[in-house]
Amino acid sequence: NAGVTQTPKFRVLKTGQSMTLLCAQDMNHEYMYWYRQDPGMGLRLIHYSVGEGTTAKGEVPDGYNVSRLKKQNFLLGLESAAPSQTSVYFCASSYSRTGTGELFFGEGSRLTVL
């Protein structure tokens, strides 16, 4: 039982390049989230999804896009990376159908934009 798996774990990009972070969960959870973690700012919600085919904006959605084509996968895309997007990205999922349960996190993906 892998839980929540994020790929890649590390990536270095040049400004303007694009990339996609993949989050996969094998727990049949409805809710999935993408957060970014920056020093002194905690975890900030980028986008989230309440189920397959649905997405919603979080606190800091600009510069990111997401898709939830399959229930088990939640993709985070950066179309044109900027240095301000250098961060550690965490994906999470929740078993609760109402989104009120605790979150299960992946190990994080460290992204550096030069």
Partner 1 sequence: AQKVTQAQTEISVVEKEDVTLDCVYETRDTTYYLFWYKQPPSGELVFLIRRNSFDEQNEISGRYSWNFQKSTSSFNFTITASQVVDSAVYFCALSEADTGGFKTIFGAGTRLFVKA
Residues near partner 1 (CB under 8 A) are: 31, 33, 35, 40-45, 48, 50, 54-59, 88, 90, 92, 94, 96, 98-105, 107-108
Nearest distance in Å: CB 18, partner 1:
25
| Closer CB to partner 1, 17 or 52, in the complex | 52
| Closer CB to partner 1, 17 or 104, in the complex | 104
Whether the CB-CB separation of 71 and 65 falls below 8 Å is answered with no
Give the integer Cα–Cα distance in Å for 108 and 32: 14
- DSSP designation for 102: P
Nearest distance in Å: CB 25, partner 1:
14
| Closer CB to partner 1, 14 or 42, in the complex | 42
| Closer CB to partner 1, 11 or 44, in the complex | 44
SS3 content of the chain, % helix, strand, coil (to 5): 5, 55, 45
State the CB neighbour count (10 A cutoff) for residue 27.
13
